[in-house]
Structure 1
Amino acid sequence: MTKAASAAAKDFAAAGVGGVHLAWADNNGIPRSRIVPVAGLADAATRGVGATSLFAVFDSHDSITYQHEGLATPSGDIRLVPVVERLRRLAGQPTLAWAPVRQLTRDGDPWPYCQRAVLEAQVAEAARRGLEFRAGYELEFAVAPAGSSDVLATPGHPGPAYSPHALVPLDGFVGALLHDFAANGLRIGQLHAEYGVAQLELSLAPADPVSAADDQLLARQTIHAAARVHGLAVSFAPLVGLGAAGNGWHLHTSVRRRGRRLLDGDGRPDGEGAGYLAGLLRDLPALTAITAPSVPSTLRLRPGYFAGAYAFWGVENREAPLRYVPGSALLGDGHANVELKTSDASANPYLALAAVLAAGMAGIEDAPALPEPIGEDPGGWTDEDRAARGVHPLPANPAEQDAALVASPRIAGVLGAELLGAFRAVRASDAAWAADRTADEIIAAHLWRY
């Protein structure tokens, strides 16, 4: 890796690159980074860059909680080692490059709080079982003029939803996104004006799970940079206003066993594919504690907003938190996948994918029963009707999310005792911060965090 890093540094320097972002996401889904001069890239690839171990217990408001026993003092250091094969020059920030990092101990050993390593372990376990996963994100975000403090008061485009006219004022920004994504090695499936106020959505092409998580972080960097150049700011927050449609970062996954597609089926998956979907459904409350973990996340998960407020699955049902997307004669059987809608930018992408893989693999292993799909919105049903169909609300506050997480040995076990403790401490710190604040105050405080 040292040789590859040295060669990359030489090429970057010749192209005018002065530094490299070494990037990761914390337990709140917030990207963090250290910039090293391009001349120091090879050394960083060999020995890493020092950082405090307390990043694992930063909460969403940059406060440090000492309530996790393993990280209960300000003492401790880790090394951030760039993943050289993912190095990219940033098209929208041409004097900078970017790479995700692994977090290691000072001695270069695995650090139990490294979220990327957690996902890598699940991918390795999948390979041991003969399984191969693909994953891709849909990213929703709201646009406002730079310096805005309120997307609703100063929307970045006038609508209508899904209209080409809505994007005319953003023509330069949209063009930059298309150019910069391609230049940064990111493939977009499509981009459009979404349903929410000043909302856009773009979809990333599927990749292996670790690359998909890396791509999600790089996509954020790319979008923020393009927005700045065009006098805009973007909000990836789960909500930009209490009555507005939220920003979901929908997570699509598919799975194969030694080349055989498991999610293909005649309108619904069967066999191991049904087990995969049933495993996700069984652990959905605990999954949501990882994939939509912030206080605004719980405010977003409401009936009627295509966000997923109840635990059920459906075939092409956009109100379902688990939406099965079947193949078709036009698209081909290989198109079949499962979309998790209870996912947003406050989730660490590596932990989110690791939890999804673990829940799905457990379902393939022990084949829990998959109930019948639901094609309606259970939010309009009575409590009795929902209970009769086995449809229950997903956790609606941090305490319920925490209870669901610790009640699932499959999901809690993915993180490991150390990381689980830090994650729970961060969530408790966020909950304590929000306890005496209004919903509007909570939403405003998270608006530009991601």
Structure 2
Amino acid sequence: MGKQEDFVLRALEERDVRFVRLWFTDVLGSLKSVAVAPAELEGAFDEGIGFDGSAVEGFARVYEADMLAKPDASTFQILPWRSGDGPSTARMFCDIAMPDGSPSYADPRHVLKRTLSKAAEKGYTFYTHPEIEFYLFKGEHADGAVPVPVDRSGYFDHTAQSKGADFRREAITMLEAMGISVEFSHHEGGPGQQEIDLRYADALSTADNIMTFRTVIREVALGQGIWASFMPKPFGDQPGSGMHTHVSLFDGDQNAFYEAGAEYQLSKTGRQFIAGILTHAAEIACVTNQWVNSYKRLISGGEAPSYICWGHNNRSAMVRVPMYKPNKGQSTRIELRTIDAACNPYLAFAVILAAGMKGIENGYELPREAEDDVWALSDRERRSLGIEPLPTNLSEAIRIAEGSELLAETLGEHVFDFFLRNKRNEWEEWRSQVTQFERDKMLPIL
């Protein structure tokens, strides 16, 4: 065992930890957890904890079910909501392995680690900084009931005795107690809608942090007698919840996207990375926007993009190059505005990085910048500028993804096959629904 494992075993005694939760994620991005006693942890570090992979969404078929969860000691944290005055509960993320010790082909965390390793072979480290939006609703969730937001406030509103402000304060305190740094927080545009921005970190740490973030947000909400949702578009007439994500590549200590004197201080590498994302945007949409509801957000305008284009400080563009900060070359980055917080962050970051790296490796040319509000242009004007639409629904996204070599290569055959099969089932289930809209519109007249 290494130093980190020794540190964890010491911390178990010092912090009176009675339970350790081992966390991992299924292919769709749902958090899984198995609790072990501290006495079992040394064995878990050496050999892993065995479990039935066929019972986890997308992990294995029945005849190859045995898998091992191997805890990553660097992710050890005490769970503040489970640790009052009495014994503590801790958690660690796990890497999933096969019985022979090889990495599981079905582990989303491994998909991201494999993609990061390919970038590292070229000398690059991938950093991400997510701005996570979500809604808070009153009471408890009830099937079929229309949720009621906790407030009627709007963007950046400061409201006396605000439920959202109290919630954000407690959530941020809990996140920082778990080593997750928060940069900003504020009320978003919709009633009850909040935004909390995490400080930038390497993509693997950020993906782990997003999984922790979603858990913390739900735990804090339940503790306050309300509930939280990361659903991309809960209301047709209110803003959707996205996860605008700032990304950058570093070559050692140097920001590979920065070039002094270049337009927007954006280097050739940065321009090729954007070109890669734009070129493969439609192919990766079913991963960055993986739910049938995700496309309700993308077709609604406002802060959510519907078209494949980039712009400098243009909030209608899919990729935005934020304003350059003088004397801060290290802060040069790009912002991807499609992604939503309901995605599997391991897979989403993997496909974004793979698309950008493809642009660098193949020397893609960056198309002309979109300077206008893309939403305000006519279809003819967008076509004349070479601006193509993103998929308009999950079915279209699946159809494009099925022919994507980039996606198959990045996800691996097993995850690629399972993910798309599950998404097809979701679309078929959606297609068979008769909605309230149809009943309201058609029952009286047909």
Fold agreement, TM-score > 0.5: yes
1:7 is displaced (CA, Å) by 4.8
| Structure-1 residue corresponding to 2:324 | 327
Over 3 Å counting, the alpha-carbon distance change for 1:398 and 1:168 in structure 2 is: closer
Q: Pick the aligned partner of 1:436 from 429, 432, 439.
A: 432
The whole-number CA distance in structure 1 between the counterparts of 2:354 and 2:161 is 39
| Conserved 8 A contact 1:57-1:425 | no
Instruction: Please list the CA deviations of residues 395-447 of structure 1 after superposition, one character each: whole Å capped at 9, or x if unmatched.
Output: 12222112222333123210111221111111122122212125679xxxxxx
After superposition, residues 55-70 of structure 1 pair within 5 angstroms as: 57=57
The whole-number CA distance in structure 2 between the counterparts of 1:232 and 1:98 is 25
| Structure-1 residue corresponding to 2:369 | 373
Percentage of identical aligned residues: 26
| Structure-1 residue corresponding to 2:120 | 127
Over 3 Å counting, the alpha-carbon distance change for 1:173 and 1:38 in structure 2 is: farther
The whole-number CA distance in structure 1 between the counterparts of 2:248 and 2:436 is 37
Large movers: runs of 4+ above 6 Å: none
TM-score norm. by structure 1 comes to 0.88
Which has more radius of gyration? 2
The whole-number CA distance in structure 1 between the counterparts of 2:341 and 2:55 is 18
Instruction: Please list the CA deviations of residues 229-278 of structure 1 after superposition, one character each: whole Å capped at 9, or x if unmatched.
Output: 22221111112122221111222210123433232343262412111110
| Conserved 8 A contact 1:5-1:45 | yes
| Structure-1 residue corresponding to 2:241 | 247
SS in 2 for 1:250: strand
SS in 2 for 1:165: coil
The whole-number CA distance in structure 2 between the counterparts of 1:268 and 1:427 is 40
SS in 2 for 1:92: helix
| Conserved 8 A contact 1:155-1:197 | yes
1:378 is displaced (CA, Å) by 2.3
Larger RCO (CA under 8 A, 6+ residues apart):
1
| Structure-1 residue corresponding to 2:148 | 154
Q: Pick the aligned partner of 1:423 from 419, 424, 431.
A: 419
| Conserved 8 A contact 1:144-1:233 | yes
Task: Kindly provide the amino acid, as one letter, of the partner of residue 186 in structure 1.
Answer: I
Q: Pick the aligned partner of 1:339 from 329, 335, 342.
A: 335
| Conserved 8 A contact 1:326-1:335 | no
Task: Kindly provide the amino acid, as one letter, of the partner of residue 77 in structure 2.
Answer: R
The whole-number CA distance in structure 2 between the counterparts of 1:300 and 1:194 is 15
| Conserved 8 A contact 1:56-1:113 | no
| Conserved 8 A contact 2:154-2:190 | no
Over 3 Å counting, the alpha-carbon distance change for 1:422 and 1:415 in structure 2 is: same
The whole-number CA distance in structure 2 between the counterparts of 1:73 and 1:133 is 36
After superposition, residues 237-386 of structure 1 pair within 5 angstroms as: 237-264=231-258, 265-267=262-264, 269-329=266-326, 332-386=328-382
Q: Pick the aligned partner of 1:79 from 63, 68, 82.
A: 68
| Structure-2 residue corresponding to 1:407 | 403
Moved more, 198-207 or 72-81: 72-81
| Conserved 8 A contact 2:319-2:335 | yes
SS in 2 for 1:35: strand
| Conserved 8 A contact 2:24-2:32 | yes
Instruction: Please list the CA deviations of residues 184-212 of structure 1 after superposition, one character each: whole Å capped at 9, or x if unmatched.
Output: 00100100000122111011111111111
SS in 1 for 2:162: helix
TM-score norm. by structure 2 comes to 0.89
Instruction: Please list the CA deviations of residues 342-368 of structure 1 after superposition, one character each: whole Å capped at 9, or x if unmatched.
Output: 112332111111111111111111121
After superposition, residues 168-247 of structure 1 pair within 5 angstroms as: 168-247=162-241
Moved more, 167-176 or 380-389: 167-176
Task: Kindly provide the amino acid, as one letter, of the partner of residue 289 in structure 1.
Answer: C
SS in 2 for 1:78: strand
| Conserved 8 A contact 1:158-1:166 | no
**RMSD over equivalenced CA pairs, Å:** 2.4
| Conserved 8 A contact 2:133-2:195 | yes
1:379 is displaced (CA, Å) by 2.6
The whole-number CA distance in structure 2 between the counterparts of 1:14 and 1:7 is 10
| Conserved 8 A contact 2:25-2:107 | no
- Unaligned runs of at least 5 residues, structure 1: 59-69, 442-450
1:22 is displaced (CA, Å) by 1.6
Over 3 Å counting, the alpha-carbon distance change for 1:440 and 1:115 in structure 2 is: farther
Over 3 Å counting, the alpha-carbon distance change for 1:245 and 1:257 in structure 2 is: same
Over 3 Å counting, the alpha-carbon distance change for 1:51 and 1:87 in structure 2 is: same
Over 3 Å counting, the alpha-carbon distance change for 1:146 and 1:31 in structure 2 is: farther
Over 3 Å counting, the alpha-carbon distance change for 1:35 and 1:351 in structure 2 is: same
Task: Kindly provide the amino acid, as one letter, of the partner of residue 394 in structure 1.
Answer: L
1:139 is displaced (CA, Å) by 0.8
| Structure-2 residue corresponding to 1:116 | 109
Q: Pick the aligned partner of 2:92 from 92, 99, 123.
A: 99
Moved more, 159-168 or 97-106: 159-168
SS in 2 for 1:162: coil
Count of residues paired in the alignment = 429
| Conserved 8 A contact 1:142-1:151 | no
1:171 is displaced (CA, Å) by 4.3
The whole-number CA distance in structure 2 between the counterparts of 1:97 and 1:257 is 35
The whole-number CA distance in structure 2 between the counterparts of 1:40 and 1:166 is 49
Over 3 Å counting, the alpha-carbon distance change for 1:132 and 1:166 in structure 2 is: farther
| Structure-1 residue corresponding to 2:132 | 139
